[in-house]
Amino acid sequence: MTQQTTDAPSRPAPAAARPAAPRLGRRLVDRKWFVIVGGAIIPVIVLLTWHLVSENGIVPTSQLPSPTMVWLALIDLIERGLFWQYVAISTQRVLIGFAIGATLGLLFGAIVGLSKLGDILLTPTLGALRAVPSLAWLPLLILWLKLGEESKITLIIIGSFFPVYTVVASALRHVDRQLIEAARAFGLHGTRLFGTVQLPAVIPETIAGLRLALAQAWLFLVAAELLGASMGLGFLLTDSTNTGRLDRTFLAIILLAVIGKLSDSLIGVFERWAVRRWT
């Protein structure tokens, strides 16, 4: 898409030929390689410091395993076939819970954001439920849904519901009234008004809400797997701590950080596209 704003409305051709604002040389922070290298600086420093501290025995390995030990723990898990199993089951739980929670969040967000009655009926209740800490649900969910997948996925649904619900409801309430009035004046109402104006207007916010929800889903995954799981990254975390395998604990933490960041980046790309497309 070509960006051109011209203040010579009736003579577009010469205006279009005008080059974009003169570039005063590309700054370092705009270069792609610098963005990647710059983002890696701190992790590399942390890794090096960690390596030095543990290798030189400044902190005993019983409290801080070395990076090599964590690496070996990873290889060990892969060789036993547990690594992919754990990652897969955790990802599956997150994705199912996120999909259901985000859909419900969209639905309730739309009801509350578009309808005054929906707002009056639902907002107080949902607001109170949101105030309950995630871990408080866990005993109840285990009691009702037992230790199977349902209890874990339900917790993730709860975790990913609220960011989407909150953001969508508030964004729909704040869609430019003038735009809505103009669209109504041109005969749009009901679902056509929603599809033509309200929905497109909240797409960037909605995707930002989805991004928050996905991050929240990973947080709630660990909470769900801390209790009563036999597989998954949260299980790896508790099990290894209980059995004194601190290297695996570190591995689990690092895996959660890396996978969480990766999934966030994926939605981030989508978000940038949506902001360009819909604003």
Partner 1 sequence: MSTSTVAPIAGLGEVPNHAYGVRFDDLGRAFPVAGGESRQVLRDVELEVEPGEILAILGPSGCGKSTLLRIAGGLDAPTSGSVTIDGAPVDRYDARCAVGFQEPRLLPWRSVAANIALGLPRGTAKADGRAVVERLIELVGLAEFADHRPREISGGMAQRTSLARALARNPGVLLLDEPFGALDALTRLKMQDLLLDVHAAAPTTVLLVTHDVDEALQLADRIILLGNDGGAPGADIRQTVVVPGHRPRDRGSAELAELRGRLLDGLGIDRHGSARGVEVTKTIPHYPY
Q: Which residues bind partner 1 (CB under 8 A)?
A: 1-7, 9-10, 12-13, 16, 178-179, 181-189, 196-197, 200, 277-279
- Helices 233-242 and 246-278 sit at what angle, rounded to 10 degrees? 160
Query: Closest CB to partner 1 among 118 and 200?
Result: 200
User: How far apart are CB 194 and partner 1 at their closest, in Å?
Assistant: 13
User: How far apart are CB 142 and partner 1 at their closest, in Å?
Assistant: 45
Spacing of C-alpha 30 from chain mean position: 25
Contact 143, 177 (CB under 8 A): no
Q: Which helix (H) or strand (E) holds 212?
A: helix 199-226
Query: Closest CB to partner 1 among 56 and 279?
Result: 279
Query: Closest CB to partner 1 among 130 and 192?
Result: 192
Query: Closest CB to partner 1 among 205 and 225?
Result: 205
DSSP string for 48-73: HHHHHHHHTTSS-TTTS--HHHHHHH
Q: How far is CA 200 from CA 172, 185, 261, in A?
A: 10, 18, 27
User: How far apart are CB 198 and partner 1 at their closest, in Å?
Assistant: 11
User: How far apart are CB 17 and partner 1 at their closest, in Å?
Assistant: 12
Query: Closest CB to partner 1 among 9 and 22?
Result: 9
User: How far apart are CB 155 and partner 1 at their closest, in Å?
Assistant: 36
